Amino acid sequence: MEYTKPYRSLFGEDGILEPFAKKIERRLGDMEGFFADEEAYKSLLKEDPLIYTVYEMPAPAEEGQFSYATTILYPGKVGEEYFMTKGHYHAKRGTGEIYVGISGCGVLLMQTQEGEVKSMEIVKGTVAYVPPYWAHRTINTGGENFVFLAIYPADASHDYGSIAEEGFAKILVERDGRPRLIGKDEY
Ligand code: S6P
Ligand code: ZN
């Protein structure tokens, strides 16, 4: 039998994994249809800002293996809506995930296929559990980078399609200078 060899990475408050195997950058232009305010989206698209960067260490996609990744979610808003990740279900629905806050502050938004929504704040030192079957997205509600670590089954695989088509039932917007979760049709 071929064993996977153990390995490790280091990260600091900036969230850059050393070493990492894969780096993914998502710009505003990669997120058409994700933000509620289409006019604000179009006008910000001229700058096409970087929304988040992911540093990944994927393990072989086999049952029992774990992958880990850090995400650096930059501060900003599209209209009143904070910068956020695309969000996804795991393609293998019965797999969960663990999030660990590294720096900055934000919200982990989760939703079941039936439309139940849960949100929790993540700051440095927060450990949050995303159980199987919950779609998950992170949102930067602060003025600095929101950085976190995610640990997930290596065979979970991502289903982005469902969220890209239907979105989350709730969105996080800034109202009176504070984050407020509202129905996506209330924008
Ligand atoms: C992977 C984990 C995170 C996200 C990352 C980017 O299961 O949840 O590493 O991939 O935060 O978000 P998204 O929705 O674009 O994959
Ligand atoms: Zn995930």
List, for residues 26-51, the tens digit of each pLDDT value: 999 999 999 999 999 999 999 999 99
What is the spatial distance between Cα 150 and Cα 45, in angstroms, rounded to a whole number? 28
What is the spatial distance between Cα 85 and Cα 52, in angstroms, rounded to a whole number? 7
CA of 176 to the centre of ligand 2 (A): 31
User: Which of 51, 88, 108, 152 for a ligand 1 pocket mutation test, highest count of atoms within 8 Å of Cβ?
Assistant: 88
Is this prediction's pTM over 0.85? yes
Show the ligand 1 pocket: residues with CB < 6 angstroms. 54, 69, 71, 85-88, 97, 136, 138, 150, 152, 158
Residue of the nearest CA to atom 7 in ligand 1? 152
CA of 45 to the centre of ligand 2 (A): 26
Residue 82 CB burial class (10 angstroms; 0-12, 13-18, ≥19): buried
Instruction: Please give the number of the atom of ligand 1 that sits closest to the Cα of 73.
Output: 11
pLDDT band at 175 (very low <50, low <70, confident <90, very high): very high
Cα-to-chain-centroid distance, residue 176? 25
Instruction: Please give the number of the atom of ligand 1 that sits closest to the Cα of 69.
Output: 9
Instruction: Please give the number of the atom of ligand 1 that sits closest to the Cα of 56.
Output: 9
pLDDT tens track for 94-133: 999 999 999 999 999 999 999 999 999 999 999 999 999 9
Q: Coil, helix or strand for 51? A: strand
Residue type, 138: T
What is the spatial distance between Cα 84 and Cα 73, in angstroms, rounded to a whole number? 7
Nearest CA-CA partner of 105 in 117, 85, 120: 120
Q: Are strands 22-27 and 127-130 parallel, antiparallel or unpaired?
A: unpaired
Torsion of the alpha carbons at 174, 110, 140 and 150, rounded to the nearest 10: 170
What is the spatial distance between Cα 84 and Cα 76, in angstroms, rounded to a whole number? 9
Q: Coil, helix or strand for 181? A: strand
Is the pLDDT at 187 greater than 90, yes or no?
Answer: no
CA of 60 to the centre of ligand 2 (A): 16
* 104 neighbors 147 (Cβ within 8 angstroms): yes
What is the spatial distance between Cα 172 and Cα 187, in angstroms, rounded to a whole number? 10
Judged by its nearest atom, the ligand closest to the C-alpha of residue 23 is: 1
Mean pLDDT of the chain: 97
